[in-house]
Amino acid sequence: MKILLKGGRIIDPANHLDGLLDLMIEDGKIAAIGPNLDSTDAVVEDVTGKIVAPGFVEMHAHMRDFEEKERDTFYTASCSAICGGFTSVGIMPNSTPVVDTPEMIYEVKKRAAESAVTRIYPFAAVTVGRKGEKIVDMKALADAGAVAFSDDGNSFKEATMMREILKQTKLVNRVVDLHCEDKQYTGKGVVNAGKLAEELGLPGISSVSEDIEMARNLIIQEEIQGHMHIAHLGSQRSVELVRFFRQRGVPFTCEVIPHQFSRTEEIVKEKGTRAKVKPPFRGKEDMEGIQLGLRDHLVDVIASDHCPYTDEEISGGLDATNLFGIAGFETTLPLALDMVRKGVVDLNYVIACLTINPARILRLENRGTLSIGADADITVFDPDQEWVVTRECLHSKGSNTPYIGDTMRGKVVLSLIGGEVVCRDWKILKQVEKPE
C-alpha cells in the first residue's frame, strides 16, 4: 500500500532537510521524498500548510499501568502520547512493580504490544527496587531490551556507586539517565524556595539540591567517560554547568521539560497541586536560563515527563502528599513551539530535540528520522492551530496539568507508525485491546 503526503513542509534534522516537499510511503517504509511526487495508486493525504516531521521520540514518561491503572494504562497514556506527536515512547521504570528484572522488561513489552497505540521502549531501574543499594544486572536487562537505565525520582547517595554505574554503562552501551537531587537537601520542600515558599508558608526546594548532585555526577563522568544523560534541568545554574563541562570536553547529553522553560513559579499560586512538579517552577531568572540552554543548543532533548495522577490524589493542598508531576504529552509540542515564536530557539532545533536526538541517546535505529527505507513513523502538525486545554480533551487519566483553561497553539493532526495511520485529528484509529 502507498500513501503520499502532499504539500507539507518536511523538517527532518537527521538528514538536514527542510523544504516544501512530498513524501511517499510504501509498504510501511519511507520510499521517496521530493518535489511534486505523483502516483496513480497511492492514497493522497493533503498536508498543505502543515509540518511533516519524523514521529517524535519521548525519553521521559511515566505510563503506569500494572498496579496503578487508576492513574493511566498503556492504552490511555499512549493515546495521550500519540496526540502529542510521540510515536515512540521510552518509559521510566518507577512503576509498581519496579522494572528491574528481565522478566519485567518482557512483561512491559508484552502488555504494551497488546494495548499501546505507540511503540514502547522500557527503561530499567539502575538499582534493585530503586533503593540505591544494589546495582541491577545491567547486562541481562540490556539484553532483554532495556533501552536505558534510570532510578528517576531518586539519585545515588554514594559517589562510588555513581562511578561504578558509569563504568557499567560502557559495558552495556546504554545511558544512565540521571534525576539529580540531593533528597536531604530537598527535605520536605514542595515549591521553589524563596519568595514563593515564604508567601505560601510552605517548605521550599532550592536549586542547590539538584545542582550539587549534577555537578558531582559530571565531575565523576569527566573521569569515567561513561554514557550519561541528565534529566530535566531545573535552574539557570544547571545550564551553566552544562556549558562548563561541555567546554571541558566531558561527554553527556541533557534534557529539559516544558514546565521549566515556559512558566515561572507564579503559576503555582494560581494552580496549586496541578503545578507541583520536580524540578519546581522557579523564578524568571531560572526560566530564562533554561531558555538560554535551548537557544545555545546546549540542551539535547525536550521531553514531556508525563506523570499522571488521579483527581483524588491532587485534590489536597500542596503539602498534602509527596507526589510531584504533570500529565503533559499533549501540551509539550505547543509549549515548545512557543519558544520558537518568542525567538528563543529555531524550529529545526526543537524538532531535533523531539526526534533524532532522543532516538540516538536511546540507541533506537530507524527512529526519529525520515531516511529513505526507514519505518514510516511520521508526525504531521499544524503549528498555528489553537486549542484550549480542558479535562475532557486530554487522553490521559491524569488531569494534573496546570495548563487547563490555557489556549495552546500547535496541534498534531496526523500520526503514522510503520506507515499505518494511528491517529487523525486526535481520533485514535489503531485497534488495540482496551483495558478498563
> Which of 179, 311, 283 is closest to 233 using CA atoms?
179
Dihedrals φ, ψ of 191, to 5°?
Answer: -135, 175
**Which residue, 152 or 182, is less far from Zn ion as judged by CB?**
152
**Residues with Cβ within 8 Å of residue 322, at least 6 apart in sequence:** none
Shortest CB 153 distance to Zn ion, Å: 5
Shortest CB 232 distance to Zn ion, Å: 6
**Which residue, 130 or 274, is less far from Zn ion as judged by CB?**
130
Interface residues with Zn ion (CB under 5 A) are 152, 179
Cis check: omega of the bond before 97, within 30 degrees of 0: yes
**Which residue, 23 or 57, is less far from Zn ion as judged by CB?**
57
Alpha-carbon distances, residue 160 vs 166, 242, 323 (angstroms): 10, 22, 29
Shortest CB 25 distance to Zn ion, Å: 36
Q: For residues 124 and 138, what is the distance between their CA atoms, to the nearest angstrom?
A: 8
Q: For residues 55 and 417, what is the distance between their CA atoms, to the nearest angstrom?
A: 8
* C-beta nearest to Zn ion: residue: 179
**Residues with Cβ within 8 Å of residue 231, at least 6 apart in sequence:** 60, 150, 152, 177, 178, 179, 180, 254, 255, 303, 305
Shortest CB 338 distance to Zn ion, Å: 23
**Which residue, 179 or 237, is less far from Zn ion as judged by CB?**
179
Shortest CB 127 distance to Zn ion, Å: 15
Residue with C-alpha cell 480533551? 393
Shortest CB 246 distance to Zn ion, Å: 22
**Which residue, 86 or 324, is less far from Zn ion as judged by CB?**
324
Question: Using an 8 Å Cβ cutoff, are 72 and 307 in contact?
Answer: no
**Which residue, 335 or 337, is less far from Zn ion as judged by CB?**
335
Cis check: omega of the bond before 435, within 30 degrees of 0: no
Cα-atom radius of gyration of the chain, to the nearest Å?
Answer: 21
Q: For residues 77 and 304, what is the distance between their CA atoms, to the nearest angstrom?
A: 12
305 annotated active-site: yes
Given 12, 72, 305, 382, the catalytic residue: 305
**Residues with Cβ within 8 Å of residue 2, at least 6 apart in sequence:** 24, 25, 26, 31, 39, 41, 42, 43
Q: Catalytic positions, please?
A: 305
